[in-house]
């Protein structure tokens, strides 16, 4: 909240559009990138800032055409290694790309940030590439909200692709699925991942399944299992791609980039694909609505009497009934 007061949203927005340059910078595009980096720092502290920036008149009516790709999977599966190679492949086709690595320093693979930095070094000087890691334990709303804001802001700068790396199997996927146009789940062969996947019920979530590290173990069994479990019953639906890669040997990367392109074509040309996008947009609006209304809800909750809270604590009254009552008062006052 303190940060929010110190941000000059109008100035930041004008820096993001390139209308004014960040102090000390002479190159317009690099200045915009610097502004983006700054904006993301502010966002991590106050995710609602994105809303203020996006609603600013400088951005009014400006469309984002970026393709958002979410990469997820267990720590150490090879997400960053694959991201690095995908960036290279995307750059070969002259497209620009922003990489947002959410919480890259997972405890299991330790020191990943440093590793990522070394790996990504070849892209740091490339003005067509923006790389940024984001903490997952940010204030107010956590990963999803600040990541969503960062995606939107990067989109306004016109990046062709935005790659978002998140760690996890389970809950965090559902978040990334909502954020991404295409979700890629990165797995390791013979790691017992499949058992975990079944348990977490995430086999229907991704659009592309990548069995990485195929240089150290045969990916065939896992690929079969994925094929069997992810094929849609309705053939007009997208049939998730199942690919084997080896980031170490730089194998399978072109197929992966092609799968992303195929999925884009499906989503933008197929009626069913359009339906999926409509559902995603609806969910996004719903979530945004929630974000817009939440501060008012919090104020309403703060008006609760001690007695009402105690009743819920003691189990004398369900929280839902209190909520209903609050909602009634809320509707009357709006
Ligand atoms: N043999 C082999 N090793 C790989 C491959 N891809 C990645 N690795 C190694 O696996 C380790 C983890 O790779 P990362 O790319 O950091 O994995 P990650 O999924 O980004 O990990 P977190 O960000 O910590 O979740 C590194 O030591 C990589 O060099 C591969 O295809 N084959
Ligand atoms: Mg990583």
Q: What is the CATH number of the domain that holds 236?
A: 3.40.50.300
Q: 72 CA distance to ligand 2 centroid (A)?
A: 9
Strands (E), the chain: 67-73, 97-102, 129-134, 161-167, 182-187, 208-211, 241-244
- The confidence score (pLDDT) of residue 208 equals 95
Instruction: Give the per-residue pLDDT at 1.
Output: 45
Q: Which ligand is nearest to the CA of 168?
A: 1
Q: Ligand 2 centre and the CA of 78: distance in Å?
A: 7
Q: Give CA–CA dist 42/12, Å, rounded.
A: 10
Give the pLDDT of residue 143.
60
157 and 281 housed in the same domain: no
Residue 314 Cα to chain centre, angstroms:
39
Q: Does the CB atom of residue 251 touch ligand 1 within 6 A?
A: no
Best of 71, 109, 131 for a ligand 1 pocket test (most atoms within 8 Å of beta carbon)? 109
Distance between CA atoms of 291 and 47, rounded to whole angstroms? 10
- The residue to mutate among 70, 72, 73, 76, having the most atoms of ligand 1 within 8 angstroms of its beta carbon, is 76
Residue where a domain terminates, one of 223, 238, 271: 271
Same domain? For 18 and 128 the reply is no
| Strands of 182-187's sheet in order across | 129-134, 97-102, 161-167, 67-73, 182-187, 208-211, 241-244
Say what the pTM is.
0.85
Both tokens of 61, joined, read 């009516």
- Paired with 246 in beta bridges are 251
Taking 50 as the pLDDT cut, the residues of the chain under it are: 1-4, 106-111, 138-141
Q: Are residues 163 and 174 in the same domain?
A: yes
Full residue range of the structural domain in which residue 163 is found? 63-271
Residue 193 CA, ligand 1 centroid: distance in Å: 15
Would you call 115 helix, strand, or coil by DSSP? Answer: helix
pLDDT value, residue 10: 87
**Residue 112 in contact with ligand 1 by CB distance below 6 A:** yes
For residue 144, the model assigns a pLDDT of 63
Mention every residue, 6+ apart, whose C-beta is less than 8 A from residue 140.
45, 46, 47, 48
23 CA to middle of ligand 1, Å?
A: 38
Residue 196 and residue 94: Cα distance in Å, rounded? 38
Characterize the bridge pairing of strands 208-211 and 182-187: parallel
What's the rounded Cα separation, in Å, for the pair 34 and 28? 10
Pair 105, 160 in one domain: yes
Q: Give the nearest ligand 1 atom to 216 CA.
A: 1
């Amino acid at each position: 909240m303190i940060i929010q007061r110190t941000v000059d949203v109008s100035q930041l927005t004008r820096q993001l559009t390139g209308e004014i340059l960040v102090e000390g910078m002479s190159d317009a595009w690099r200045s915009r990138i610097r502004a983006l980096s700054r904006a993301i720092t502010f966002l991590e502290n106050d995710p609602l800032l994105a809303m203020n920036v996006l609603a600013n008149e400088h951005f009014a009516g400006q469309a984002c055409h970026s393709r958002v790709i979410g990469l997820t999977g267990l720590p150490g599966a090879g997400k960053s290694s694959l991201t690095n190679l995908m960036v290279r492949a995307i750059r070969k086709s002259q497209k620009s790309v922003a990489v947002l690595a959410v919480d890259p320093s997972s405890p299991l693979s330790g020191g990943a940030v440093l590793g990522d930095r070394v790996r990504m070094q070849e892209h740091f000087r490339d003005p067509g590439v923006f790389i940024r890691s984001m903490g997952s334990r940010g204030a107010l709303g956590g990963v999803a909200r600040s990541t969503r804001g960062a995606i939107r802001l990067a989109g306004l700068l016109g990046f062709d692709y935005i790659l978002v790396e998140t760690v996890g199997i389970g809950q965090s996927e559902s978040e990334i699925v909502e954020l991404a146009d295409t979700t890629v789940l990165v797995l390791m062969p013979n790691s017992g991942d499949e058992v975990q996947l079944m348990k977490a019920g995430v086999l229907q979530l991704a659009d592309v399944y990548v069995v990485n590290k195929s240089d150290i173990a045969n990916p065939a069994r896992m690929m079969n299992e994925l094929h069997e479990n992810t094929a849609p019953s309705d053939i007009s639906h997208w049939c998730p791609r199942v690919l084997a890669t080896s980031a170490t040997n730089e194998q399978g990367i072109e197929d992966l980039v092609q799968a992303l392109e195929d999925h884009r074509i499906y989503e933008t040309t197929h009626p069913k694909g359009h339906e999926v996008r409509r559902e995603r947009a609806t969910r996004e609006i719903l979530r945004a609505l929630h974000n817009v209304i939440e501060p008012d809800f919090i104020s309403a909750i703060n008006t609760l009497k001690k007695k009402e809270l105690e009743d819920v604590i003691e189990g004398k009254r369900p929280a839902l009934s209190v909520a209903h009552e609050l909602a009634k008062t809320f509707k009357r006052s709006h």
